[in-house]
Amino acid sequence: MKPTQPRAISKDDIITFKAFFTHDIPASIAAKTNLLTALGLVCYTEFIGGIIRGKVGVSADNRLNFYEAFNKLGDHYKVFDLQLNKEFGYDFYSFFRNGLAHEYFAKKMFVIAPKSNTGLGIGFHNGNTPSMANEPYFNDLLRVLDRYIEES
């Protein structure tokens, strides 16, 4: 049975989570585990969105939780999501998050790297291959989490 009630997350839980997040992702980047790092980042995006929405653990809200945080990463993330859907028929959640979590690969040819030439966490490599850059994505996601902590 899928949970329908959100799990209570305290301020202390969020601070503990942030300690794991800010240790594990940089350690994974340093270890050059690009695919594993990207998987962690998209899962953390969903969890952080659940924290913001107060819906952690509600399976039916996974996509909504993900997009709650993803849409706060910056306008270029929203634009990329629309372009990805237009060009490939998948939004970011389906292409990367579900692809990595359930199929070990994104839905089509993709690139995952520690950094990007543009400094952005997402984009199109060589103009047409969907890509994710772990370090800038992490920095953007950390800003979303920090903003939530400051405002709550």
Condensed to tens digits (0 to 9), the pLDDT of residues 35-81 reads 999 999 999 999 999 999 999 988 889 999 999 999 999 999 999 99
* Portion of the chain with pLDDT greater than 70, in percent: 97
Q: Does 1 reside within a domain? A: no
Q: Which domain holds residue 100?
A: 11-151
Q: Does 100 reside within a domain? A: yes
Q: Does 131 reside within a domain? A: yes
Q: Does 6 reside within a domain? A: no
pTM: 0.93
How many distinct structural domains can be found in the chain?
A: 1
Q: Does 5 reside within a domain? A: no
Q: Does 2 reside within a domain? A: no
Per-residue DSSP letter, 106? -
Smallest CA-to-CA distance from 40 within 101, 124, 114, 113 is with: 101
Q: Does 47 reside within a domain? A: yes
Q: Please report the DSSP string for 45-61 in residue order.
A: HHHHHHHHHT-TT-GGG
- pLDDT tens-digit profile of 89-102? 999 999 888 778 88
Q: What are phi and psi of 74, to 5 degrees?
A: 145, 160
Q: Does 4 reside within a domain? A: no
Question: Where residue 83 falls among pLDDT bands split at 50, 70, 90?
Answer: very high
Question: Where residue 2 falls among pLDDT bands split at 50, 70, 90?
Answer: low
